[in-house]
Homo-oligomer: A and B are copies of this chain.
Amino acid sequence: MISGPSGVGKGTIKRALLSRMTDINLSVSVTTRLPRDGEIEGKHYFFVDQSKFDAMIQQNQFLEWAEVYSNCYGTPRSFVVDNLDRGQDVLLEIDIQGALQVKKSMPTGVFIFISPPNMEELASRLLSRGQDSKASIDLRLAASKDELKRIECYDYLIINDDIEEALEKTMAIIMAERCRVENIDLR
């Protein structure tokens, strides 16, 4: 799980990671929000309407789901579980609420928190991204202060003050976790 506040760069880290470690499977989320320019169905998200999303909740098809800024996001359970059963690693880029939900059902997962160096830096990144209204940004910053308190629920913390360094640390964590005795079948 790569998680952290909005705008911290977890999407950038995710994309770079997938291009360098090609044996990692990306979990694609389901969402009720509208596609942004360039977003592709089944690659960036599965886009569904609210009634379909609600039906999936009822059928327990989500490993986690959350409502964030009036949109719903969910992780299809079967994709993750099927890949893990085949001995494959699965990457989730996920908001903090979602990560904490996944932790309840998958406590042995690896939870990485990507943090901004400070709040001002985060605000500047969100503004320069230019996809979000000022009001939406204020809402996210208010949320982020609470979110930072939740770091203690995570296994790893990466301060993203340099994207290349943050990526290197993320790859190191994945490589190290693959060497953990508890993750290796010794028989």
The residues of A with any CB-CB pair to B shorter than 8 Å are 112-113, 151-152, 154-158, 168-169, 171-173, 175-177, 179-181, 184, 186
Q: How many copies of this chain does one complex carry?
A: 2
Among B155, B177, B186, the residue within 8 A (CB) of A151 is B186
Name 22 interchain pairs, CB-CB below 8 A, sorted by A. A112-B179, A113-B181, A151-B186, A152-B181, A152-B186, A155-B180, A155-B181, A156-B179, A157-B179, A157-B184, A157-B186, A158-B179, A168-B175, A169-B175, A169-B179, A171-B172, A172-B173, A173-B175, A173-B179, A175-B176, A176-B176, A176-B177
| Majority SS at the chain A contact face | helix
